[in-house]
């Protein structure tokens, strides 16, 4: 989206206020760390970069493009630190951001539970159509729309082998690709998805009666025990980064809409870009030749 150079840009405070109307920090889990990490609330914002991870490669992309704000899904300071010295990975990023005047904001589990949120974007990306329902509903939502994960149906049933290919094509390519557990000739109609680590939701996926559960970071023992028990869903395990990447475009669109509502038409006088930098932790997969 183009920027009008003759109109004042919104401030960082304008942007975060609008964004928090869409993804309220109060929706985040108690253990989470969301919100503004670095930046001056009064600084003007003309360019915003959405990314999954607050890592050096994303900061490189932001500074090269001239972004004033980076909005990431994953927190930089999820666990407490006693130093932000530039000799540490997190400290180095903090110093780079401050020196460049680039702000950093995080929307994590508040974006996961939102409706639409991270898993809605994943569900649509892999081909689910029609209404979606939470896999693990948020008990504090009287409308029953928020929660972790989503359950929906495919427009037409396909075998697991075909659906796995559909998932792989829908998500950013990573070194490890995707992994599949289950009969690849099994017919798939109903699907559960959860962006990010999802093995805590295996029981919920079984209880939902879906044909396959798409998520990330499945550990060996829980996955092995899950597929050994007959009658349950097949599993598709994706890279963590890849399963959350589809949300970036949705988050960017919803921010632009919120700025238009809260600040007026001129409030959307920002350029928003979705990062295509692959920040999956694994850079190479090696197998027997």
Mean pLDDT of 124-144: 96
pLDDT for 71 beyond 90 = yes
Task: Tokens for 104, please give them.
Answer: 């950093």
pLDDT at 108: 98
pLDDT at 288: 79
Mean pLDDT of 107-128: 98
The answer to whether residues 49 and 67 touch, using CB atoms and an 8 Å cutoff, is yes
SS3 165: helix
pLDDT for 1 beyond 60 = no
Task: Tokens for 200, please give them.
Answer: 């805590």
pLDDT for 268 beyond 80 = no
Three-state SS string over 73-138 comes to CCCCCCCCCCCCCCCCHHHHHHHHHHHHCCEEEECCHHHHHCCCCHHHHHHHHCCEEEEEEEEEEC
pLDDT for 3 beyond 60 = no
Per-residue pLDDT tens over the stretch 236-248: 999 999 999 999 9
pLDDT for 175 beyond 80 = yes
Task: Tokens for 239, please give them.
Answer: 């890279």
Q: If you ran DSSP here, which 8-state letter would residue 11 be given?
A: B
**Confidence label for 269 from pLDDT (cuts 50, 70 and 90):** confident
Per-residue pLDDT tens over the stretch 32-54: 999 999 999 999 999 999 999 99
pLDDT at 67: 98
pLDDT at 81: 85
pLDDT at 6: 54
């Amino acid at each position: 989206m183009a920027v009008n150079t003759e109109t004042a840009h919104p401030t960082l405070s304008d942007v975060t206020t609008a964004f928090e109307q869409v993804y309220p920090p109060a929706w985040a889990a108690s253990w989470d760390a969301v919100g503004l990490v670095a930046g001056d609330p009064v600084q003007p914002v003309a360019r915003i970069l959405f990314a999954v991870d607050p890592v050096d490669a994303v900061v490189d992309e932001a500074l090269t493009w001239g972004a004033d704000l980076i909005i990431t899904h994953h927190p930089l300071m999820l666990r407490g630190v006693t130093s932000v010295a530039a000799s540490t990975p997190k400290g180095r990023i903090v110093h780079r951001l401050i020196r460049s005047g680039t702000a950093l904001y995080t929307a994590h589990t508040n974006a996961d539970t939102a409706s639409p949120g991270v898993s809605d974007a994943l569900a649509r990306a892999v081909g689910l159509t029609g209404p979606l329902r939470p896999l693990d509903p948020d008990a504090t939502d009287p409308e029953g729309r928020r929660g972790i994960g989503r359950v929906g149906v495919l427009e037409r049933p396909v075998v697991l082998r075909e659906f796995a290919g559909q998932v792989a094509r829908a998500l950013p390519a990573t070194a490890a690709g995707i992994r599949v557990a289950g009969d690849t000739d099994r017919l798939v109609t109903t699907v559960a998805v959860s962006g990010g680590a999802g093995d805590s939701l295996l029981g919920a996926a079984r209880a939902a009666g879906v044909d396959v559960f798409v998520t990330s970071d499945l550990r060996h023992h829980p996955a092995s025990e899950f597929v050994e028990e007959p009658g349950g869903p097949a599993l598709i395990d994706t890279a963590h980064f890849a399963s959350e990447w589809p949300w970036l475009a949705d988050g960017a669109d919803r921010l632009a809409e919120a700025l238009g509502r809260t600040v007026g038409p001129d409030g959307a006088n920002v350029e928003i870009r979705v990062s295509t930098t692959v920040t999956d932790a694994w850079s190479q997969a090696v197998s027997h030749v």
